[in-house]
Amino acid sequence: MIRLLGLSGSLRADSYNTALLEAARELLPEGVDLEVATPHGIPLYDGDLEEKQGVPAAAEALKDKVAACDGLILCTPEYNHSIPGVLKNTIDWLSRPGKDQARVFGGRPVALLGASPGGFGTVLAQNAWLPVFRILGLRYWSGMELMVSGAHKVFDDQGRLQDEKVRDLLGKHLAGFTDFVRG
């Protein structure tokens, strides 16, 4: 069984990115499981807080989930043409302390996808993640991009993926990433 962890970069209850990961659960290849996580409960990174109290429990729990998964799917919104702060903050906490970075990220396969109501999807946010992946030692799967634009048109009021073209692309993305994880 291949265990994937999908990390949504949004805190919104009706997040398109979380909905995209939930839709992915229905399209996984045989023998693959996907757990969906969010940044809920993780405070803003503060070096003084880390020094006095260590890594917060919510960040530590998520670190353990990342370290235990076979592959990480980062589902990123795009805010102001770049990485959303809440998701970058989460990754910053997960990389602390520095001696733990290799256990959590070192050599771990990672894929990107994202959804946005805008017309360009999440192209700039996805590109902005690449230097972060490099410094963390993640193995980025570049086999297929998936940037859902006009997200408000592809999900229904309950957050279910309704667009068959996006569903097909998501299935292909998951199959390609799973092959990459299998090596």
pLDDT value at residue 72: 98
Q: What is the pLDDT of residues 58-79, one digit of tens each?
A: 999 999 999 999 999 999 999 9
Q: What is the pLDDT of residues 127-163, one digit of tens each?
A: 999 999 999 999 999 999 999 999 999 999 999 999 9
What CATH number has the domain bearing residue 95?
3.40.50.360
Q: What is the pLDDT of residues 89-103, one digit of tens each?
A: 999 999 999 999 999
pLDDT value at residue 46: 97
pLDDT value at residue 64: 98
Q: What is the pLDDT of residues 34-63, one digit of tens each?
A: 999 999 999 999 999 999 999 999 999 999
Structure tokens at 8: 């949504």
What pTM, to 2 d.p., does this model score? 0.97
Neighbouring residues of 35: CB distance < 8 A, sequence distance ≥ 6: 3, 4, 5, 6, 65, 69
pLDDT value at residue 66: 98
- From residue 103, give the alpha-carbon distance in Å to each of 26, 47, 57, 62, 78: 30, 20, 17, 13, 28
Q: Which domain holds residue 151?
A: 2-182
pLDDT value at residue 164: 97
Domain tally, the chain: 1
Residue 81 confidence class, pLDDT cut points 50, 70, 90: very high
Cα–Cα distance measured from residue 104 to residue 24, given in angstroms and rounded to the nearest whole number: 23
